Amino acid sequence: MKYKIFFYLFFVFIGFFLIFRQANYLFGGDSAEYSTVFATFSIPHAPGYPLYSLIGIIITRVIPFGTITWRAGILSSIPTVLTSVFIYLILYLLTKNKKISMFSSIFYIFLYPIWLYAEVPEVFALNNLFISIISYCILRYNSQQKSIFRYLIYLFVGFSIAHHHTFILFIPGWYFLLKPNLRKTFFLFNWIKNIFFLLVGSSFYLYTMLASFFNPPIDWENSKTLSGLIRLIFRTSYGTFNAYAGGSPDFKNQLYDFFSVFVFILQDFRILGALIILIGLISMFKKPSSFSKFLLISLLVQLFFVFYTNFYLGSSLIIATFERYVISLYLILIFYFGFGLSIIENIFKKYLYRIVRSSFLQKVLDFSYFLFLLIFLTILVISNYSIIKNVKNAKEFEFYSQDLINTVPVNSILYVSGDISYFTTQYAYSVNKNRPDIKLIFANLLTRDYYAKRTKLMYPDVYVPSNKISESLFFKEFLQKNGSRFSIFYEHPSQYGGYWQPFGLLWKYYESSEKAKDDAKNLTNINNGLWSKYRIPNFNKKQKSILFISHLSDIYRQSLTSYITFLLINENFNTINEYLVKYKYLLDNLYIADTKAEIALKKSDCKNLLGYVNTKKNQSLYEMSYNQLRLVIKYYGLCDKNNTEVYKYLDLYKKFNQ
């Protein structure tokens, strides 16, 4: 009894610790979208997460204190702790080892991605909770045959349908876990009750239909219509069986993703944890049971899913998105981890107890083993805390949303398409009511009939073309018709025509190249003013370990380098040098060197160009970028025309072009 009280009090303590550490301000990824959804009764991107949205709306209104983001984060921290409790219950049910079960369940909480996504608004913690509850209920149903556990299984499967569709990856494993008693669940009367509880759980999709009638700021599929609801549930906009929009098969990259998972595992569990998992996996494979079959099948399905998703891990944003998909994988691995610890303890006792007969010394050995585990856990907690502590008061995403929305002049069109830009500015626009004078339009939905109609209602003076024409003609017409009446700003130059010039964190649309050239001097003054006001993040190494935070630096860096390119074209060299010095912490050293070489080339400054070329001679030819090769070749053409060394650079330059 005392042990149970201590156990639950300890998890309550961890719960309060996680709640206290939750993010107070907007975070990257989908987090800002969920905060906006909770504040405005909206519908997030497919599959809509209706159960999560409705619970989040209730939580953010019942709790009278804290920021929206902090309150929204409770729906991540509490499910994480509850998942850990069910991990303990499952492990104890199977191993009868309280200490190992408790240690493993606590270890799960403090794994880096589990902990990180327990501190910010995200859907994955609740998904893991439902999976762990269903698995526990199946085990209890197998052992006790009580109908209540069967009802709970179907109820929580329904909840999962109304939440996160990746629970489907566990269905093959659950089938083998439930197989011995599967026939009993399908008697006609049982079947009717099972379907009833399944429908009750999944009925939360009614929220999306109801919310859509009130035209909330975010409504991806217009789910008040049957076709819209179907598109939302089946994620047709992304491709039902794609992890993200635009995904396509690429076997080589898929293999890279597959092996990247093992890098994540080694990094998060450490080498020792990975070895313990391997021991647990081997031991369970040798002694097959319904639960070992469930784990193995679920593990293989998860690994196949990672292979199938085909993320191109070339940027911090994509790696951060990919990182979230290991969270359900870690729910499987923690059981192997627990079984591995149990096997090690049994071997430890079996062989050492033969040598050490003294009961006192045996207790000392037991204590030493668990002291070693506690040291391992402590190292993990301290290491991950040094990174995750930066989440709580990180204001940079809120600053970014304000910087972005304040870039736009009065009565302009702000035309966005990226997740980070749209979710954060929508929060600033709809929740904080910043800049009601501008017209915020989400480009990804504009060609859809319902969103086009809503745009016309919100902004009657904005011209929206007919969606009967092709997408390219639609956006070209949108820009041409509105560009003569409004200033239009986008995150990057549109592929659908016009002339675009960097404008702070955005790009400004011009109808003709002449207008763009005529505005160059004025644009320089405006940009200088904007960059002097921006709160550009200066993250330390630990902060940059959080991938979404690292991506925010990339956003500012890309915009700044675009403006520096604009200054180079207009030969405003003094301003460039000022920016290279002022933002040295943001810009790569190689980029700074290349830019100085560009200035030297523009000035025909052979002395400084020679210094640059000499640094390039010290590195491998194939390590040079396309632009660096161009600069070296230009040097020879300008300053050293008779030097035959240029030919080796020209040969490589031709290969680049091919």
Q: Which two tokens stand for residue 530?
A: 């904007």
CA 619 to chain centre: 36
User: Apex CA 409: angle with CA 407 and CA 411, to 5°?
Assistant: 135
| Distance in angstroms (rounded) separating the CA atoms of residues 134 and 153 | 5
* Residue 641 dihedral angles phi and psi, to the nearest 5°: -65, -25
Q: What value does the mean pLDDT take over residues 268-289?
A: 94
Band of the pLDDT at 244, cuts 50, 70, 90? low
**3-state SS track over 347-412:** HHHHHHHHHCCCHHHHHHHHHHHHHHHHHHHHHHHHHHHHHHCCCCCCCHHHHHHHHHHHHCCCCC
Q: How confident is the model at residue 1 (pLDDT cuts 50, 70, 90)?
A: low
How far apart are alpha carbons 627 and 618 in whole angstroms? 17
> Cα separation of 266 and 286, whole Å?
24
Backbone dihedral region for residue 246 (phi beyond 0: left; psi -120 to 50: alpha; all else: beta)? left
Categorise residue 620: left if φ over 0, alpha if ψ from -120 to 50, beta otherwise.
Answer: beta
Q: Where are the domains of the chain?
A: 242-355, 396-572, 588-658
- Look up tokens 């589990």; give the residue: 114
- Residue pointed to by tokens 């081997």: 282
233-237, 412-416, 635-639: the lowest-pLDDT one: 233-237
The segment with the largest mean pLDDT, out of 278-292, 393-407, 638-652, is 393-407
Q: Using CA atoms, how far apart are residues 67 and 541, in angstroms rounded to an integer?
A: 27
For residue 314, the model assigns a pLDDT of: 86
Count of CB atoms within 10 A of residue 588's CB? 11
Q: Which residues pair with 508 in a beta bridge?
A: 489, 501
Q: What number of other Cβ atoms are within 10 A of residue 430's Cβ?
A: 17
Do residues 111 and 274 touch, judged by C-beta distance below 8 A? no
Phi and psi at 361, nearest 5°, equal -65, -30
Of 184-188, 408-412, 457-461, 575-579, where does mean pLDDT reach its minimum?
Answer: 184-188
Phi-psi region at 593: left, alpha or beta (left = phi > 0; alpha = psi -120 to 50): alpha
Q: 97-101, 141-145, 292-296: which has the minimum mean pLDDT?
A: 141-145
Give the model's pLDDT for residue 183: 65
Question: Using an 8 Å Cβ cutoff, are 552 and 400 in contact?
Answer: yes
The helix or strand, by DSSP H or E, that contains position 507, with its residue range, turns out to be strand 506-510
Q: What is the pLDDT of residue 247?
A: 62
Q: How confident is the model at residue 202 (pLDDT cuts 50, 70, 90)?
A: very high
Say which residue the tokens 């709790």 belong to.
63
Q: Enter the tokens of residue 493.
A: 């130059």
Q: What is the pTM of this model?
A: 0.95
- Higher local confidence (pLDDT), 339 or 179: 339
Average pLDDT, the chain: 92
Please answer whether residues 163 and 171 qualify as being in contact, where contact means their C-beta atoms are separated by less than 8 angstroms.
no
The beta-carbon contacts of 268-272 under 8 Å, at least 24 apart in sequence, are 268/111, 268/112, 268/113, 268/326, 268/330, 269/111, 269/333, 269/337, 270/376, 270/380, 272/376
pLDDT band at 197 (very low <50, low <70, confident <90, very high): very high
The encoded tokens of residue 448 equal 């859809």
| pLDDT on residue 246 | 59
657, pLDDT greater than 80 = no
The packing angle between helices 68-95 and 327-355, to 10°, is 40
pLDDT at position 355 over 70: yes
Residue type, 179: K
* pLDDT value of position 203: 96
- Which of 211-225, 248-262, 426-440, 579-593 is predicted with the least confidence, judged by mean pLDDT? 248-262
Three-state SS across 419-486?
Answer: HHHHHHHHHHHHHCCCCCCCEEEEHHHCCCHHHHHHHHHHCCCCCCCCCCCCHHHHHHHHHHHHHCCC
What strands, in cross-sheet order, belong to the sheet with 506-510?
439-442, 413-416, 488-490, 506-510, 499-503
| 182 burial level (CB within 10 Å; 0-12, 13-18, 19+) | exposed
Answer whether 111's CB lies under 8 Å from 385's CB: no
What single DSSP character describes residue 219? B
pLDDT confidence band for 189 (50 / 70 / 90): low
Residue 185 has pLDDT above 60, yes or no: no
